[in-house]
Structure 1
Amino acid sequence: MRKLVIAAVLLLILLAAGWYAGETWLSNRAREMVGGSGQITAAEVTPLRNPARVGLRLQDVDYGTAEAGFSAPDLEVYAPVSAPNTMTVDLPRQMQLRLGGAPIELTLEGGSARASISPTHEMTVRRAGVDARGLAVGGIEALQALDLDARLVHRGAAAPQGSAGAYAIDLSASGIALGALPERMEIAGPVQLWLSAVPGQAVLDGRAPPPAPTGIQTPGIEIAIGEMQARLIGRIEADENGYAMGEAAFYTDDARGFVEAGVAAGLIPQRGAMLANALIGNLAETGSPADQSSAGTVPETARDRAETAPPLSGEQAMDQVVALPPPAPGQIRLPLVLRDGEMRLGPVKLGPAPRMIR
């Protein structure tokens, strides 16, 4: 019994020494990487010295360029001992975001970002997520809660051309502030995202650029503002020139209420509201033009699969091309069509389509 106790103590000492040496090595390696990187700087890098996790504390962190990036007084990056392949960053309570060179002050009540990697598959990111609570921008509350979880899945038969990887995403956001509008917006639903490459060691090392999105679709994201409800369904993918192509639609029985909310929040100008209300009135009388205007935006073979495949549920539903169903009785379908580098709301041209791949 005495020898067993001595052996257990020696084992604990060896584990503690390994943990201590590992964090010391990590901090030294991180200092070298920070010193040799033009993207990230830190005034000091020190081990956490927390027995429950292996990690580092970075002081006065700055990432990115003068035009786009962020800075924070400190960051903790660690892997729990119980899950050594999952890197976690505790989001700082205060940070500064730079967009177009303009600084934006952000504060958080709490949150974290995490990524699980596969060491045997070139450090592929197989799962990632973000959770945040009490986000304020410039001292004004902007978001009460955000939860996002992305899981690496098979590309499936619905993958757009040029896709090398896919993630199934579960999104939930509540308490989203919309300008002066007193009601808050809530969003929740599944999303399928395809990428030109799977993030891995080359991206982490800076030897390869971050992958570009090749397609995105959802069978239904629920949107609520106060008592108003809507659902977003659609699929967008990159065309041969890299521009967004496809169709999406908002389904709601209170379309005019959403337009009024957009005006009250300062998101829709009065002229835009007049055009939107005219379109809503036209759709209420004649039905949606989406079926006619969107013909050809989805490859014929993919459209055939979408129309003939049996209905699926859960993650399986994200393995087939999403098609726009007809609106339910009392609903209006507001179609957003992207084709030939243009974006239209029904027959109304909104402007150029965004570029997905450069």
Structure 2
Amino acid sequence: MTRLLILIVAAALAWSGYWAVAAWQLRQAQEDWFAARRADGWQATYADLAVRGFPNRLDSTFTDVALADPESGLAWRAPLFQMLRLSYRPNHVIAAWSGPQTLATPERRVTVESERMRASLVLRSGAPRALDRATFVAEGVRVVPETGGAWALAGLNAAAEITAASAARYRLGLSLDGLAPPGAPERLPQTLEAVRLDATVTFDAPWDAAAVAGRRPQPELIEIDTAEARWGDLRLSAQGRLEVDAAGVPEGRIDLRAENWRAILRLAETAAPLPPGVTETLEEALALAAGLSGDPETLDLPLAVTEGQLRLGPVPLGPAPRLLIR
């Protein structure tokens, strides 16, 4: 019995020592990361950093944390941010946000409020540790810009997972429910009931720790397997493939389908009347295009990008947007 007691005490002391060393190393690594960002010219500050969770967790809690990258112009500030992990699974991290956050780009500044916001990240072993898979969940989200109305979102689920084909190729999934843009006319549906996306994106480099502090991986190939949205009676769907060059210019085609397009045209005309004759002309043109698919209530149009120019069916829309990640 005495020997068993000694073994238990020795094991407890050994585990306590392991946890203390791991907690110290984690705190030191996080402090060093912030210091390295400041040395690169970033704003990287926090009021307090605490590592807790003994005996089985290593939970880091930052208060009044702020990050700003001068090169991209992106900035983020939050009153409370946590990184939670099990002490024996250091590659799996849970991130949790609490309180209103501030996001800023060179163009605008918004406040993000939410009832719940969490992310799960699993990193591959090795240095630098690349992203293996990740999920992000948010509920009761409000995005409030400095000027203009607020956007509301009932629920968001996003996921990314590395594929077996390449360390820089990721399968992406996105689900949005109850997306309510500001200023929708009363006679139009107030929310997009559901938005779904299933796609695969190949980047020019893996997403790893270096991607946060340095150059962001850029998309080279975007394959949209399924994209769907429901807005009242309207059903939108898309499939396609885009190749992206080093300057961010896409090339390819996305096939769009709109079901019950006449109902939305009627609602749009009621909410914002067009000049006399324009609605009829537009409806005739769309009906002709829909008739080519065999179903007059379904509109099929290709969204093509060629030599940097965007075209919806036969209609030119102008230059294509640059697909660059800052």
**TM-score of Structure 1 vs Structure 2, range by shorter chain:** 0.7 to 0.9
Amino acid at match of 2:141: L
Q: Which moved more, 1:237-246 or 1:169-178?
A: 237-246
Q: Distance in 1 between matches of 2:141 and 2:51?
A: 28
Corresponding residue to 1:77 among 79, 83, 89: 83
Conservation of the 8 A alpha-carbon contact between 1:344 and 1:351:
yes
1:195 lines up with 2:203 in the alignment: yes
1:342 lines up with 2:294 in the alignment: no
Q: Which moved more, 1:209-218 or 1:47-56?
A: 47-56
1:53 aligned partner: 57
1:234 lines up with 2:201 in the alignment: no
Change (3 A) 1:152 1:60: same
Q: Distance in 2 between matches of 1:328 and 1:350?
A: 25
What SS does the aligned partner of 1:119 have? Answer: coil
* Residue 50 of structure 1: how far off its partner (Å): 5.0
What SS does the aligned partner of 1:232 have? Answer: strand
1:281 lines up with 2:287 in the alignment: yes
1:166 lines up with 2:174 in the alignment: no
Q: Distance in 1 between matches of 2:15 and 2:324?
A: 48
2:11 aligned partner: 11
Corresponding residue to 1:254 among 240, 257, 260: 260
What's the TM-score once normalised by structure 1's chain length? 0.75
Change (3 A) 1:2 1:255: farther
1:284-295 matches, cutoff 5 A? 284-285=290-291, 287=292
* Residue 251 of structure 1: how far off its partner (Å): 1.6
1:106 lines up with 2:112 in the alignment: yes
Amino acid at match of 2:314: P
Q: Which moved more, 1:327-336 or 1:119-128?
A: 327-336
2:121 aligned partner: 115
1:352 lines up with 2:324 in the alignment: no
* Residue 49 of structure 1: how far off its partner (Å): 3.5
Corresponding residue to 2:66 among 62, 80, 102: 62
Conservation of the 8 A alpha-carbon contact between 1:238 and 1:357:
no
Amino acid at match of 2:113: T
* Residue 26 of structure 1: how far off its partner (Å): 1.9
Q: Distance in 2 between matches of 1:75 and 1:352?
A: 40
1:42 aligned partner: 46
Q: Distance in 2 between matches of 1:8 and 1:261?
A: 73
What SS does the aligned partner of 1:32 have? Answer: helix
* Residue 54 of structure 1: how far off its partner (Å): 1.0
Q: Distance in 2 between matches of 1:90 and 1:265?
A: 41
Q: Could you report, residue by residue, the CA deviation over 1:225-269 in whole angstroms, capped at 9, with x for unpaired residues?
A: 234322211111114764111111222321234556778899xx9
Change (3 A) 1:103 1:189: closer
Q: Which structure is richer in relative contact order (CA contacts within 8 A, separation 6 or more)?
A: 1
Q: Which moved more, 1:211-220 or 1:238-247?
A: 238-247
1:143 aligned partner: 153
Q: Distance in 1 between matches of 2:258 and 2:224?
A: 16
1:292 aligned partner: none
Change (3 A) 1:249 1:229: same
* Residue 270 of structure 1: how far off its partner (Å): 5.5
* Residue 340 of structure 1: how far off its partner (Å): 0.7
Q: Distance in 2 between matches of 1:258 and 1:166?
A: 37
What SS does the aligned partner of 2:34 have? Answer: helix
Amino acid at match of 1:342: Q
Change (3 A) 1:111 1:3: same
**How many residue pairs end up in the alignment?**
307
Q: Distance in 1 between matches of 2:270 and 2:83?
A: 41
Unaligned runs of 5+ in 1: 157-163, 289-326
What SS does the aligned partner of 1:36 have? Answer: helix
* Residue 224 of structure 1: how far off its partner (Å): 1.1
* Residue 215 of structure 1: how far off its partner (Å): 1.6
- Give structure 1 regions of 4+ aligned residues with deviation exceeding 3 angstroms: 49-52, 239-242, 256-266, 273-279, 327-330
Conservation of the 8 A alpha-carbon contact between 1:248 and 1:335:
yes
- Aligned-residue Cα RMSD (Å) equals 3.1
Amino acid at match of 2:47: A
1:123-134 matches, cutoff 5 A? 123-134=129-140
Amino acid at match of 1:13: L
Change (3 A) 1:253 1:2: same
Change (3 A) 1:50 1:228: farther
What's the TM-score once normalised by structure 2's chain length? 0.82
* Residue 133 of structure 1: how far off its partner (Å): 0.7
Percent identity for Structure 1 against Structure 2: 23
Q: Distance in 2 between matches of 1:344 and 1:281?
A: 19
Conservation of the 8 A alpha-carbon contact between 2:94 and 2:121:
yes
Q: Distance in 1 between matches of 2:271 and 2:15?
A: 57
